[in-house]
């Protein structure tokens, strides 16, 4: 498993990362998935305090155990829930971030977080306060680096130049190419992109036909457009899963692509696809068959 530098930081993360959101809540199954990931050379594990209301952090922390020092753990903050109330609300206040980071540390069973990410953000947030808080957490040794999970250009333009953020998590795939406009900007600010949604809810895998039967399109693609695009992509590239990973990793601004797995079988499929990406070097057809759209909102 190759590794790439995360922005201008000293962290080098695996090109494939394991996302925690779809990790099994069964400890035995989750352990099997994480053990397989570690054996494959995956060293970046992405979670959030919101996933399973903190239980995902606890699960990952427990399974990693003594191996924690050998990996890079990323988690997120900002979506706050209150016990006894349904749903959650946005809270990026400095006081809450300071409270939430200690709760995450406890659940993860560690005394530091490698990459602490704001789990969203609006243009109206107190960015000076947020950045100062993250910098204080670095100084205190509670986090090593920080970043943001956001697809809002106006937020990124406000946050990145004013901070020392090293990571931007964005939804990006051959079927959602909106981030391409911003990759150079993010890289110039000393950060890397860590992608989510790489396989587009399974549409960019070799089981896309079954997935398509249970959906009603994807993003701006209709079912008919997807059928045409995916049929032609498969005809040209043969392995759609490998194409999905290669399409993201062709970008130097992207350090890693986070892919979830609810079973060892799913993770094995991703690892098999990853082994084939070096054979895919020409993306002209992929670019021609997909939409190069731009973000319309939050500009």
Q: In 140-222, which residue ranges form alpha helices assigned H by DSSP?
A: 153-159, 183-188, 208-213
Asked if 68 and 75 touch (Cβ cutoff 8 Å), the reply is no
Cα separation values, 133 from 101, 118, 120, 199, Å: 11, 11, 16, 34
Tell me which of 44, 51, 172, 221 is the catalytic residue: 51
Q: How far apart are CA 42 and CA 260, in angstroms?
A: 12
Phi-psi sector, 241: left (phi>0), alpha (psi -120 to 50), beta: alpha
Q: Is residue 219 among the annotated active site residues?
A: no
Q: How far apart are CA 225 and CA 32, in angstroms?
A: 38
Helices 264-274 & 240-249 angle (0-180, nearest 10): 60
Annotated catalytic residues are: 51
């Amino acid at each position: 498993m190759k590794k790439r530098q995360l922005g201008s930081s000293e962290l080098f993360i695996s090109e494939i990362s394991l996302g925690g959101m779809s990790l099994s809540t069964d400890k035995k199954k989750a352990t099997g998935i994480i053990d397989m990931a570690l054996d494959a050379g995956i060293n970046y594990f992405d979670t959030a305090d919101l996933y399973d209301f903190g239980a995902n952090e606890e699960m990952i922390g427990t399974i990693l155990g003594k191996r924690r020092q050998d990996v890079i753990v990323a988690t997120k903050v900002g979506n706050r829930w209150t016990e006894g109330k349904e749903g959650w609300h946005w809270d990026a206040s400095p006081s809450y971030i300071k409270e939430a980071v200690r709760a995450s540390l406890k659940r993860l069973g560690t005394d530091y977080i490698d990459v602490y990410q704001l789990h969203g953000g609006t243009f109206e947030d107190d960015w000076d306060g947020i950045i100062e808080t993250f910098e204080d957490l670095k100084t205190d040794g509670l986090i090593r680096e920080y970043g943001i999970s956001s697809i809002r250009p106006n937020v990124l333009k406000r946050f990145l130049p004013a901070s020392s953020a090293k990571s931007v998590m964005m939804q990006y795939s051959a079927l959602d190419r909106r981030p391409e406009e911003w990759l150079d900007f993010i890289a110039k600010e000393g950060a890397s992109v860590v992608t989510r949604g790489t396989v587009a809810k399974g549409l960019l895998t070799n089981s896309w036909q079954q997935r398509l039967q249970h959906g009603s399109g994807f993003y701006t693609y209709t079912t008919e457009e997807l059928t045409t695009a995916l049929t032609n992509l498969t005809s040209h590239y043969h392995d759609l899963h490998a194409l999905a990973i290669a399409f993201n990793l062709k970008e130097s601004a992207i350090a890693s692509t986070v892919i979830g797995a609810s079973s060892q079988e799913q993770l094995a499929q991703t690892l098999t696809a990853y082994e084939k990406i070096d054979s895919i070097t020409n993306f002209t057809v992929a670019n021609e068959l997909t939409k190069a759209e731009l973000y319309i909102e939050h500009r």
